[in-house]
Structures are given as C-alpha cells and as structure tokens.
Amino acid sequence: MSDEIYYMTPRGYQALAEEQDFLIHTERPRICEIVSWAAGNGDRSENGDYIYNKKRLREIDRRLRYLKKRLENAKIVDPKDQQNLERVYFGATVTYAREDNREVTVHLVGVDEADFDPKAGKTKINWESPVGKALLKAEVGDIRKVRIDGAVEHIEVLEISYMFET
C-alpha cells in the first residue's frame, strides 16, 4: 500500500466513490455481458464487438484500480471545518488580483477535483498547481510571484474564506 496521501474535499471523495460504484455495479457487468455475447459469435479476431468491449473492459479495470488507490489513501478535508484561518490552505476560496487588475476567485481542491474554466463559472484549481502552490500559506495583502499563461506575474491576495462548497 502506498504512503501517498490524496487530499480531497468531501464532495470530491463522494464523486470518486460514486464513479467507482457505477463502474463496479453497472458499467462493468454490462460490458462483461457484451463481451460474453460477442465471444459466442465465432471468430474473435474480426469481431468488432468483442475487440472493442474487451478494450473497454481493460479501461474500466484500470480506472477501478486508480479509484481504489485514491479512495483508500484519501484524506478528506472539509473547508467548512477550517474556520478562522487567516492563511491559505487546502479547501480555501481565494480571491486574488492579477497584474492587469482582473480579480480571480478560485477554490483550492484535490487533484481529481480540479475544474477551472472561469468563463463557464468553474473555479476549482488543483492545490498543487502553480497558482495553488503560490497561494499556499499566503495572507490577505500578500503578493506572490507565479507563472500564469506562460509569463511570470505577481498576484495579490485580496480575500480568503473557507465557506462550504456549493
């Protein structure tokens, strides 16, 4: 068993657990049934259903091994339990100003939870990303140097909170 710990929010843990449950109880049995049916159709070397679904079965098994490792070594950190923190840590919601005075608000989450597309309103960033690392342990008013969009930029921390995820 690996000693590596995977930090994640309760919502991130739940999403991975639900995916694992779906793959084990729904998707994998369905694909096994198709493979069994296709195998009974004769020559497997030119059987597209058999070849494709065997490959899909290997992908599912690979993903299940990954999910098992992540969930077994997960350390769940609930942002709502981290009240009154004045520094940026895992689970924080941080608003910072870029050099062009644009304000950006991000949520520092686990590797598997990251989903950043500000135009779509998605603001979850990997806490181990360059911006996430730059923000760690910062306080309001701190200016940090970080590589964004291929250029080194200074960002200023404007606000830190540990509100419950929505």
- Please state, in angstroms and rounded to a whole number, the distance separating the CA atoms of residues 2 and 69: 8
Helix, coil or strand: residue 21 = helix
- Please state, in angstroms and rounded to a whole number, the distance separating the CA atoms of residues 143 and 135: 9
- Please state, in angstroms and rounded to a whole number, the distance separating the CA atoms of residues 104 and 97: 6
Question: Where in the chain are the domains?
Answer: 6-76, 79-161
Q: Which helix (H) or strand (E) holds 74?
A: strand 74-76
pLDDT tens digits for 71-104?
Answer: 999 999 988 887 668 999 999 999 999 989 889 9
CB 135 within 8 A of CB 144: yes
Helix, coil or strand: residue 103 = strand
CB 103 within 8 A of CB 158: yes
What pLDDT, on a 0 to 100 scale, did the predictor assign at position 143? 96
For the domain spanning 79-161, the CATH number is 3.10.50.30
pLDDT tens digits for 17-62?
Answer: 999 999 999 999 999 999 999 888 877 778 888 999 999 999 999 9
Kindly report the backbone phi and psi dihedral angles of residue 155, in degrees, each rounded to the nearest multiple of 5, phi listed first. Answer: -120, 145
Architecture of domain 6-76: Orthogonal Bundle (1.10)
Average pLDDT, rounded, for the chain: 90
Kindly report the backbone phi and psi dihedral angles of residue 57, in degrees, each rounded to the nearest multiple of 5, phi listed first. Answer: -65, -40
